[in-house]
Structure formats: structure tokens, C-alpha cells
Amino acid sequence: MSTTLIHGGTVISAVGRREADVLIDGEKIVAILAPGQATSMGIVADRTVDATGKYVVPGGVDVHTHMELPFGGTEASDTFETGTRAAAWGGVTTIVDFAVQNTGFSVQDQLAVWHEKAAGNCAIDYGFHQIIGGVDDESLKAMTYLVDNEGITSFKLFMAYPGVLYSDDGQILRAMQNASESGAMIMMHAENGIAIDVLVAQSLARGDTDPKFHSLTRPAELESEATHRAIQLSKVAGNVPLYIVHMSASGALEEVAAAQHAGLNVFAETCPQYLYLTLEDHLAQPGFEGAKWVCSTPLRTKHEHHQADLWKGLRMNELAVVSTDHCPFCFKDQKELGLGNFSKIPNGIGGVEHRMELIYQGVVLGEISLERWVETCCTTPARMFGLEHKGVIEPGADADILVWDPNRTTKIGINDKHHMNMDHSAYEGFEIDGKVDTVISRGTVVIENDTYVGTKGHGKFVKRGLSTYLH
């Protein structure tokens, strides 16, 4: 097997930083060496990567993506091929996507559909969560089977989207009870979909059809209410591990913080869009332009303190993970399905390429530390979702590494840095005080010298164990 030595850099982990060299043999990290130690030991690697003046961090782990997701009469514009390639451009070396089961369909059959989409197409490693859109006796049996046999140990439920993916409280409780027995993680889209549908119908009846009403009909109170309800159900189900996805609002965060203070296994993620984008500056842009930023949970108003609270939550570990909820749709022909009716706009923002960049900018701005950047974007996502060999730089771990240059800059934009399969950028014009330099996936260089040098099919499906992040 070939060897690679990354030398001269500063290795950043969740707990500290040090000058060190990293030795890779084949697909694994085999040693962390003091500067110059490789030379004194007579180690001559087949390949060297000069990381002088740069940070050496674990490859990013994005545990919330939706490649090729069917939604609202279309499907997400990134395939597993294009989406994982864009992820690599952003320093991400593992994604966990979602296989989708709807009412009346077999969980195992739908999982097979997603395996077929991804197999042989990915630039980086990938795993799957399973969405359970129809909770019944058969899908509950399938949940246990997937944990025991398929390396799928997390299941997403929806309190939103009645008639599509929605589960009522009884179904949620049954699924949670099942997960409590198997040790699986329940992931929750926490919005009160029944109440939202009433507000949407009332808004449309008034003629309030522009994209900004997507947010105004999904108020923060209905996110915090659903979060509270999910937490109480998880408690009734035996303190089942509960992970609230794409948290956008202060009130919902307060519910999670209170649950954690009470010792419950309740966790949450946020996404870059909720840290940087707002209702007024993006979703409420003139005409139909705001459709580019329609996602659920929605962007919140800048006149309250949601963003400041989310950054605080990241510092305090009330928010354990930053993911993207990457679900891109082109403005032309896809977002335009909702012209004249915001409820028909496909929900989703593309961001898998930019999470490591945008959260690093939080370090520059003084919101979080370098170590916390690594912890929330690499180490904790891996631990949270049973990716045993990911998210760390240590002997025996997969050689998934990002070399990050803090002395260069990145400009995000459709004509600047943009590799996702979509016709606009949600972060157009953003400038980042740092740059992806080199990306290594299981010992293979996939990005170097501003060039993608990886291959379709390099990425492998990763069977996951149970979460190792529980209280």
C-alpha cells in the first residue's frame, strides 16, 4: 500500500491543536508524529503533502443531505455523483443521506432504491438514515432489522407535511418505543404541520403568495411547540435518543437546552443558513427572487435574536452538530413551480460544498473556536451517528483529512467557487477568510491545486453502529 506524509501543519482536534505530521498507509492513519520525527526515523513516504502554515483537520462529516430527493413534483438537482463531488470540493469526506419510505411502501424496498442511486457514483464515503413516512407494524419490524443487519441506526420522522411524510403523536411514540429497544436514534423534523397547513391556506386565501410568506406561515412558535412535544414523547418512550434536525429558532433551542439540563438524551443540529441568512435579507427579496431561500424550517427574522442564540448554542454544546440539510433545486423550472403560490416552491437550499467554509468564518468572527469548528463539523457528527472510524485524526482512523489554508480566501458565488448542480448560490458573494487546500478521502487525494482529482465510485457505503454520544 502507498504511504502519504502530511508535514509541517498544525493538527486541530476537538480538544486542542499541535504541530504534528500525519502518516497515512493505504486507507488508514497509522501515526501522528512530532515535527521532523519521520526524517529521524528514516520514514520515506511515497507521497508528501506540505501543510506548512496550514491546519490539518479531519475530513468534514455532513450527516444531513438529500441527493436526488423527490419533492413537490421534482427532485433535488444534485445526484449522488455531482453532490458528493461538490462535497469533496468543500472538504467533506463523508455524508449521511436519507432513504425515504412513504406510507404503503416497504422500508427495505425503498432502502434498496437509494442504494441503487448511490452505488458506484460517489466521490466520498456515504451512509444512510432511514425516513419512516408510514409508521405501522411492518415498518416497525423493518426498523429493528435495519439496525441489526444493514448498518442503519437512525430513523427520521416528520411532525410536518401532513399527507406526505407526517406522523401523528401515536405513530411517533410507537417508533420511539421501537428505537428505545434497539438503541437507535430518532431524528425529528419538529414543526407543527397541522397548524402550519391552516396558516398556509389562510395566507393563500388572502392573496399573500410571495416566498416570504413561507416563513410567516411557519412561525418559530410552531417549531418550539413541536420540539417540546417531541422531547416529551421521547421521555415517555424511555429517554430514547432524540436528535432535532435543522434547528432555526431560539424557542426550540431553549426546549433542547432544558431537556439536556434534565439529563435527557436530546440533541440538535443547526445549519449554516440559519446562522447567516434571514427572512428580510433573503427570503423577502423582491418578486419571486426569495424562492431561492425557501427551506423548512424557514429562515427567521433578523429583528429577533435567533442567530445570536444559535451561535451561543454552538458554543455551549446545546447544539452539537452543524450539518447542511443540502437539498438543492434550480431556480429555473424547479423553484419556479411555486410562482404565484409559495406552498408549491420545492423546499431546499444547496450548501454541502460550503459548510466547512462558513463555519470556519465563525471562528474568524470570534463566534466559536477552531476546536469547536472541528468538533461540530467532523468529530461529533461521526460519534453521534456511529461512524466509528470517521471524524478524528488518530492512528487506526480512516485517512479522511482536510488541509485548510487560513492565509488564503474563498469567494462563494455562481461564477466563483460553486460546484453544486444548481443555477444559483444561496451564499452569492460571501467571502471566507480561509480556503480548502487539499482533501484526502481514505488515503486518496481527491482535491489538490484547485482541482478535483477524485473518481466516481471511490466513495463506499459505510455501515454505522449505534451512537456513542449519549448522556
Q: Say whether the peptide bond before residue 278 is cis (omega within 30 degrees of 0).
A: no
3-state secondary structure 255-283: HHHHHHHCCCCEEEEECHHHHHCCHHHHH
Q: What is the pLDDT of residues 114-163, one digit of tens each?
A: 999 999 999 999 999 999 999 999 999 999 999 999 999 999 999 999 99
175-186 mean pLDDT: 98
- The amino acid that residue 350 corresponds to is G
Helix (H) or strand (E) holding 451: strand 451-452
pLDDT at 471 over 80: no
More confident of the two residues 71 and 308: 308
Residue 31: predicted pLDDT:
98
pLDDT digit string (tens) for 359-373?
999 999 999 999 999
DSSP 395: T
Q: How far is it, in rounded angstroms, from Cα 409 to Cα 80?
A: 28
DSSP state of 36: T
Alpha-carbon gap, residue 151 to 185, rounded angstroms: 13
Amino acid identity of 461?
Answer: F
Mean pLDDT of the chain: 97
Confidence of residue 470 (pLDDT cuts 50, 70, 90): confident
Average pLDDT over residues 289-302: 98
Q: What does DSSP say about strands 435-441 and 444-448: parallel, antiparallel, or unpaired?
A: antiparallel
pLDDT tens by residue, 383-437: 999 999 999 999 999 999 999 999 999 999 999 999 999 999 999 999 999 999 9
SS3 content of the chain, % helix, strand, coil (to 5): 35, 25, 45
What tens digit of pLDDT does each residue of 196-218 get? Answer: 999 999 999 999 999 999 999 99
pLDDT for 344: 97
* pTM score over 0.85: yes
Query: Which pLDDT band holds residue 5 (cuts at 50, 70, 90)?
Result: very high
Phi, psi of 203 (to 5 degrees): -65, -45
| Radius of gyration of the chain from its Cα atoms, rounded to whole angstroms | 21
